[in-house]
Amino acid sequence: MNPELGHFALALALPVALVQSIIPLIGAYRRDAALMAVAGPAALAQMLLIGAAFAALTQAFIASDFSVVNVYQNSHTSKPLLYKISGVWGNHEGSLLLWVSILAVFGAAVAAFGAGLPDRLKARALAVQGLIGAGFLAFILFTSNPFLRIDPAPVQGMGLNPLLQDPGLAFHPPMLYLGYVGFSMAFSFAVAALLEGRVDAAWARWVRPWTLAAWSFLTVGIGLGSWWAYYELGWGGWWFWDPVENASFIPWLTGTALLHSAIVVEKREALKSWTILLAIITFSLSLLGTFLVRSGILTSVHAFAADPTRGVFVLMLLALAVGGSLTLYAIRAPKLEPGGLFAPVSRESGLLINNLFLTTAAATVLLGTLYPLIAEALELGKLSVGAPYFNTVFIPLMVPLVLLMGIGPMMAWKRSDLAGILGRLKGALAAVAIVFAIALALSGIAVVDIAGSAGIALATWLFSSSLIEWAGRVRLFKGAPSDVWRRIRSLPRASHGMTVAHMGMAILIVGVSGSSAWKQENILTMAAGENVTVAGFEITFNGAELIQGPNYESLQGSFSAKRGGSSVALTPERRVYDQPVQQTTEAAIHTTFWADLYVVLGDGPTDDRRYVVRAYFEPFVPFLWYGILMMGFGGLISLSDRRHRIGAPRRAAAVAEPAKA
Amino acid sequence: MAKRKTQRLYFVLLGGLAVATGIALVLTAFEDSIVFFYSPSEISQQSLSPGQRVRIGGLVEMGSVNAVGDTVSFTVTDTAETLDVTYRGILPDLFREGQGIVAEGYVLASGVFQASDVLAKHDETYMPPEVADAIKAAGEWRGDDSATTQKTAATESTATP
């Protein structure tokens, strides 16, 4: 019975979403407060209805109700509870339901907490949210209904793909979607502002928290996906420039640009139409990402098997959203009031250049990702664009961006003095030179060593200049301790957040450069009792045995790794799951603070009882995860800033106030 | 208004510079990182320079997989022609005979394909699009297209030695 209720609630949500979009739009046009007031209750009703549908599907998964096709295809009674629940979004239909659920919650949040918003802006933003919701609800109801039944109900389900039965992947999709959907709020506000014909600091103060939240979730979501690929796929890599990875990374790049340009709108009311355009582009790229992942038109490491009709539907939604909003932009943007002026050397300029680097990077990654499709359409042959392309275009764009990140936060609004800033950063330059020299001395002078050391030196630049900037703000070591403490407390949270996020980025760069440059690997066949040395670890193979897991059988290898006096046990596995029957590789990873030892058990035993073994030494990989967590955390600190909690406070003193990013 | 015009000019110059940098980078990078895909039937007709990286794909022929130490050799077919492949390392979890795979690498002087990466889907109902097309081109496609739509949450794994 419940699945029908869920289906009914979902079907009812569609007309409610249409009401939420059409009536307030008419109301805003006619300046009719009664019609505009429909938006809020409609958004709340939509949240309740979609929430009921989501609860019904979750309940069907928890209760293993195999009369529902979706549960039958993606669940199994022997699965642990966590994966029964994550199975709800571990499939196409359910993940779309999660998408609209998050959309509805965000819409309801605007309705409930948006009391400070101008009435018409609020009505229009909610109306655009309603339109997006209606598009996705129609998509679910007409092509991907999660509540379809089968009769008679099968006794047992087909099970969830074992690769997805993993804590990292259980939370990866919700995080990504919180990011994507968060950008839909920025999009809705952008379209509403275009309809309004007015963009001001108050508008930016509304858009920034949504963008910040979306960005933080997307950052952590991409990080979780990368972490999962690293330990679950068993090849010791964490980023492959794969189309599905790029699909989430491209909106991240433009979203990062949006995050920064919204600051300029808030503080200086400049770059207004650019920010609007970025909001539109970022959400469009999120939709494009959804399309690429859902349609399966690109050969990907993480490909989802695809249904062409679904692809066409998402493509139509994409065309409507992008075409509609860009047309509106073309008509309305020229009429926006021009913003404040600034000199070529100023904080505004710094943020603008940041935006140019980020959007150029996004465009080149997008081109590389879509090029196989373009080439095929133009009959240039079937081809793929590999990691070398992405590394060649991406790294040269990021290096100057990171150099700028060290200087940017110290620049003053309107007009700044570069020489003075560089003078303050002498310490950072010294740190860079010292770290670079130490890294070279420890590693060597081969090309990879120089590249890796340069990466770490770049990270040092960013880390130390962020620290110097923050220390300058709170007068660390200059004032009395009580005064420093007072300054730390009174410094806006957004400033602390920026420092933490930028430092997180520095730590991430250490992880990226170090692991790319100094990864060591060893592939060999081993019999019990043999040993191999990898990066100073003496790894002994003690043999392998079959063990029984809850829903799999596993061949577990036993290794011990010795370095110095201490020894650790490593137990990589090759699992064969029962439902569905599928083999997975479970790498054994021994983590020290700064490096991982990573062992995979491969094929075997051969006739002479040997196994293929891969042993990697992965230096600095843990820094990737520290860095990503710090970035996400920085976003959240910034989100807790008072100005973001209180919708649109007085905009006085915005210029005089110390600058934040 | 002169000031505003200067600023606009500055925007345009910066934007132009960004676009030019982007294009320059893309053109240099495209030169050596585009990898073409050929089926076993097509690859014999290509004049590939030694060591040129390509992708090949097809079905792993039944009974052709042979492992010696950490090196595996097998035959890939598009049902019309076959190609011998050798690979060092651990194959992806769902690599098995009869399965559609894509491999990246280069053709050795002996005509054997030396693979550096092997991709096989983690979902047995999934066929890489290139492989499906290659087999269709060879005129032997019997599978129905709905086979690829059954299971949605499927993943693929790649092996990189």
pLDDT bracket for residue A329 (50, 70, 90): very high
Q: What is the dihedral of CA A538, A542, A543, A546, to 10 degrees?
A: -110
Amino acid present at A106: F
Q: Do residue B63 and residue B87 come from a single domain?
A: yes
Check whether A283 has a pLDDT greater than 60. Answer: yes
Our measurement of the distance from residue B8's CA atom to the centroid of its chain's CA atoms, rounded to an integer in Å, reads: 45
Do residues B81 and B75 touch, judged by C-beta distance below 8 A?
Answer: no
CB A234 within 8 A of CB A585: yes
Q: Which residues of A337-372 are buried (b: 16+ CB within 10 A; e: fewer)?
A: eebbebeebbbbbbbbbbbbbbbbbbbbbbbbbbbb
CA A21 to chain centre: 28
Is B4 in the A-facing interface, judged by CB distances under 8 Å? yes
How far is Cα A382 from Cα A176, in angstroms, rounded to an integer? 30
**Is the minimum CB–CB distance between B91 and chain A shorter than 8 Å?**
yes
Q: Are strands A383-385 and A566-570 parallel, antiparallel or unpaired?
A: unpaired
User: Are residue B46 and residue B29 in the same domain, yes or no?
Assistant: no
Under 8 Å between Cβ of A168 and A232: yes
Nearest by Cα to A265 from A281, A256, A276:
A276
Distance between CA A259 and CA A271 in Å, rounded? 12
Query: Residues near B83 by Cβ (< 8 Å), separated by ≥ 6?
Result: B40, B43, B56, B58, B75, B76, B77, B113
> Residue B128's pLDDT band (boundaries 50, 70, 90)?
low
- Contact criterion met (CB below 8 Å) for A531 and A540: yes
Distance from CA of A9 to the nearest CA of B (A): 24
Do B91 and B115 fall into the same domain? yes
Average pLDDT, chain A: 88
**Which secondary-structure segment (H or E) carries A614?**
strand A611-619
Cα of B46 to nearest chain A Cα, Å: 12
pLDDT of A101: 95
A235, A302, A360 member nearest B159 (Cβ): A235
Query: What pLDDT score was predicted for residue B64?
Result: 87
Say yes or no: B51 and B92 in one domain: yes
> Is there a contact between A655 and A266 (Cβ–Cβ < 8 Å)?
no
Q: Which two tokens stand for residue A133?
A: 């919701």
Is the pTM for the entire model greater than 0.90?
A: no
Contact between B154 and A237 using a beta-carbon 8 Å cutoff: no
**Mutation target vs B (from A297, A358, A389, A610; most B CBs, 10 A cutoff):** A389
Answer yes or no: is pLDDT of B151 > 80: no
What is the nearest CA distance from B10 to chain A, expressed in angstroms? Answer: 8
Residue recorded with tokens 């599928």: A582
Share of chain A above pLDDT 90, in %: 51
CA distance B159 to chain A (A): 6
Same domain for B90 and B26: no
Where do the H-state alpha helices sit in A519-640? 621-639
Residue A467: count other Cβ atoms within 10 Å of its Cβ.
18
Q: Tokens for A418?
A: 């570069």
For chain B, the domain total comes to 2
pLDDT confidence bin for A451, thresholds 50/70/90: very high
Percent of chain B with pLDDT over 90: 4
Instruction: Please report, as a single letter, which amino acid is at residue A590.
Output: H
Distance CA A574, CA A555 (A): 5
Q: How confident is the model at residue A154 (pLDDT cuts 50, 70, 90)?
A: confident
More confident residue, A92 or A303: A92
Chain A CB within 8 Å of residue B12 CB: no
Reply yes or no on whether the pLDDT at A638 is more than 90: yes
For the segment A288-304, the average pLDDT, to the nearest whole number, is 64
Sole residue written with tokens 């982007």:
B22
B154 and B88 within one domain: yes
- pLDDT at residue A1 greater than cutoff 80: no
- Inform me whether the C-beta atom of residue B52 falls under 8 Å from chain A C-beta atoms: no
Q: What is the pLDDT of residue A163?
A: 74
Whole-angstrom CA distances from A111 to A24, A45, A199, A461, A479 are 13, 11, 20, 44, 45
pLDDT, residue A35, reads: 92
Mean pLDDT, rounded, of chain B: 74
Range of the domain at B108: 36-159
State the DSSP string of A166-221. SHHHHHHHHHHHHHHHHHHHHHHHHHHHHHHT---HHHHHHHHHHHHHHHHHHHHH
The CA angle A22-A24-A25, to the nearest 5 degrees, is 65
The minimum CA-CA distance between B59 and chain A, rounded to whole Å, is 16
Q: Which residues of A579-616 are buried (b: 16+ CB within 10 A; e: fewer)?
A: bbebbbbbbbbbeeeebbbbbbbbbbeeeeebbbbbbb
Residue A539 burial (10 A CB sphere; 0-12, 13-18, 19+):
buried
Q: Which of B4, B26, B123 sits opposite A364 (nearest CB)?
A: B26
Residue A355: predicted pLDDT:
94
∠ CA(A170), CA(A171), CA(A175), 5° rounding? 145
Task: Give A168's contacts in chain B (Cβ within 8 Å).
Answer: none
pLDDT recorded at residue A304: 46
Give the pLDDT score at A449.
93
Average pLDDT over residues A603-609: 78
For residues B160 and A422, the model is more confident at A422
Comparing alpha-carbon positions, the chain B residue that sits nearest to A342 is: B7
With 50 as the cut, is the pLDDT of residue A658 above it?
no
Sign of the torsion formed by the C-alpha atoms of B145, B147, B148 and B150: positive
B18 in A contact zone (CB under 8 Å) = yes
- Lowest mean per-residue pLDDT among A24-28, A241-245, A277-281: A241-245
Write the CATH number for B75: 2.40.50.140
Of A5, A10, A39, whose CA–CA distance to A24 is shortest? A39
Question: Best mutation site among B122, B127, B131 for testing chain A: the one with the most A CBs within 10 Å?
Answer: B122
Residue A645 is predicted with a pLDDT of: 61
Each residue's pLDDT tens digit, A35-88 = 999 999 999 999 999 999 999 999 999 999 999 988 988 888 888 888 889 889
- DSSP code at position A65: -
Query: Which two three-digit tokens encode residue A547?
Result: 């063990």
Distance CA A647, CA A651 (A): 11
C-beta atoms of A583 and B155 within 8 A: no
Q: Which residues contact A2 (CB under 8 A, 6 or more apart)?
A: A56, A59, A60, A65
Q: Say what angle helices A167-196 and A272-295 make with each other, to 10 degrees.
A: 140
**β-pairing, B66-68 with A531-534?**
unpaired
Find the helix packing angle between A39-62 and A92-113, rounded to 10°: 140
Q: How far is B62 from chain A (nearest CA, A)?
A: 18
Rounded mean pLDDT of B12-20? 86
Write the CB contacts of A66 (distance below 8 Å, at least 6 apart in sequence): A72, A75, A150, A153, A154, A155, A156, A157
- Judgement on whether residues B102 and B40 belong to the same structural domain of the protein: yes
pLDDT of A661: 38
A526: nearest CA in chain B?
Answer: B69
Lowest model confidence (mean pLDDT) among A309-323, A438-452, A508-522: A309-323
> What token pair was written down for A77?
């009674």
pLDDT digits (tens, 9 = 90+) for A415-431: 888 888 999 999 999 99
Mean pLDDT to the nearest integer, A513-523: 91
Could you say which of A301, A388, A582 has the minimum Cβ distance to residue B32?
Answer: A388
* pLDDT tens string A466-477: 999 999 888 888
Q: Are B67 and B52 spatial neighbours (Cβ–Cβ below 8 Å)?
A: no
Question: Based on the domain organization, do B8 and B67 belong to the same domain?
Answer: no
Q: Are residues B49 and B84 in the same domain?
A: yes
Whether the CB of B26 is below 8 Å from some CB of chain A: the reply is yes
Distance, in Å, from the CA atom of B118 to the CA atom of B120, rounded to the nearest integer, reads: 7
Please indicate, yes or no, whether residues B26 and B48 belong to a single structural domain of this protein.
no
A585 close to A561: Cβ distance less than 8 angstroms:
no
Contact A585, A600 (CB under 8 A): yes
Neighbours of A335 (CB within 10 A): 10
The span from the CA of A360 to the CA of A104, in Å, is 32
Angstrom distance (rounded) from CA A71 to CA A50: 18
Residue A652's pLDDT is 36
Cβ of B93 and A602 within 8 Å? no
| Pick from A92-96, A475-479, A649-653: least confident | A649-653
Q: What is the tens place of the pLDDT at every residue in A185-202? A: 999 999 999 998 888 888
- Neighbouring CB atoms inside 10 A of A34's CB total 8
| Residue A297 binned pLDDT confidence (cut-offs 50, 70, 90) | low
d(CA B132, CA A281): 34
CB A502 within 8 A of CB A462: yes
CB–CB of B87/B124 below 8 Å?
no
How confident is the model over B27-75, as pLDDT tens digits? Answer: 888 777 788 888 888 887 877 777 788 888 888 888 888 887 778 899 9
- Let me know whether B141 and B152 are in one domain: yes
Q: Are residues B10 and B56 in the same domain?
A: no
Residue-range domains of chain A with CATH: 1-160 (no CATH), 162-333+348-409 (no CATH), 520-622 (2.60.98)
pLDDT digits (tens, 9 = 90+) for A98-131: 999 999 999 999 999 888 888 899 999 999 999 9
* Confidence at A298, pLDDT banded by 50, 70, 90: low
Q: How far apart are CA A518 and CA A654, in angstroms?
A: 47
- A359 contacts B25? CB cut-off 8 A: no
Measured CA to CA, the distance from residue A68 to residue A93 in angstroms comes to 12
* Interface touch B152/A582, C-beta < 8 Å: no
